[in-house]
Amino acid sequence: MKKTTQEGGCPTEEEMAEETRLSTWHPIEDRNLAPGTRLVARYKKVEYHATVVEGEKGGLCYRLDDGREFKSPSAAGGAITGHGCNGWVFWGLVAGELEAPESLE
């Protein structure tokens, strides 16, 4: 029997790749994301985006397009799915974001 979702309801990496095959989604291989990096996820046939931003205390945050910010990609993914998930699997990189963006100055 094919496993269609991970425990906790998050889609598997294979499902994310299949669901977003028409988009330009690439798995996150390097977790050292630079501010300005755009992330994409697809959940229940809806595409979501987040941007890596610098937080108020110097750490990184993940800002959804609706303006909400989270301290981890998992928290941002959970806000979308309504339950906990592995954000490093849930989110992928937008094409063109495979390299760290240049300074936003």
**Do residues 5 and 11 touch, judged by C-beta distance below 8 A?**
yes
The pTM assigned to this predicted structure is 0.70
Q: Does position 7 have pLDDT exceeding 80, yes or no?
A: no
Whether the CA torsion 93, 94, 95, 98 is positive or negative: it is negative
The closest alpha carbon to 79, from 26, 31, 43, 54, belongs to: 43
Q: Within 10 A of 95 (CB to CB), how many other CB atoms are there?
A: 12
What pLDDT was estimated at residue 55? 85
Q: Within 10 A of 75 (CB to CB), how many other CB atoms are there?
A: 16
3-state secondary structure of 24: coil
The closest alpha carbon to 86, from 21, 1, 7, belongs to: 7
The closest alpha carbon to 11, from 68, 94, 69, 80, belongs to: 80
Tens-place pLDDT, residues 18-74? 554 445 678 888 899 999 999 999 999 899 999 999 988 889 999 999 999 999 999
Q: 40-49, 52-61, 79-88, 95-104: which range is least confident on average?
A: 95-104
